[in-house]
């Protein structure tokens, strides 16, 4: 994953509203992360945009009752756990299929 920074201009909106700029990522991460974070009860809005196809960055917006940076971190950790689980289940099924074949 690329770097993460906060987009300037959100300082007056409180800790719960932030737009993060994530470089070297696109729709694959954006859609998966948005799907996870939108389910958190403290989140009012979560979405992402790719400002321009030529620019290799994504703007990821969180509006919540909690600290947006903590919610982003939790979302990334939950996504990592989901990916790890998916890989484990897939590998188990491949191994099970290989034994039967």
Per-residue model confidence (pLDDT) at position 8: 77
Homologous superfamily of domain range 4-100:
RNA polymerase, RBP11-like subunit (3.30.1360.10)
Nearest to 70 by CA among 20, 11, 23, 9: 20
pTM: predicted TM-score of the whole model, two decimal places: 0.87
Q: Cα(93)–Cα(66) distance, rounded to whole angstroms?
A: 39
Q: Is residue 49 classed as helix, strand or coil in its secondary structure?
A: strand
Strands (E), 1-101: 4-6, 17-23, 43-49, 57-64
Render pLDDT for 6-62 as a digit per residue (tens, 0 to 9): 987 777 778 999 999 999 999 999 999 999 999 999 999 999 999 998 888 999 999
Render pLDDT for 69-85 as a digit per residue (tens, 0 to 9): 999 999 999 999 999 99
Domain residue spans in the chain? 4-100
């Amino acid at each position: 994953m690329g770097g993460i920074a906060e987009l300037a201009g959100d300082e007056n909106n409180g800790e719960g509203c932030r737009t993060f700029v994530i470089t070297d990522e696109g729709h694959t991460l954006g859609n998966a992360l948005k799907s996870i974070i939108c389910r958190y009860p403290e989140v009012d809005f979560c979405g992402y945009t790719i400002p321009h196809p030529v620019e290799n960055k994504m703007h990821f917006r969180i509006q919540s009752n909690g600290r947006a940076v903590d919610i982003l971190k939790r979302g990334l950790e939950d996504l990592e756990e989901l990916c790890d689980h998916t890989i484990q289940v897939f590998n188990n099924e491949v191994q099970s299929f290989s034994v039967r074949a």
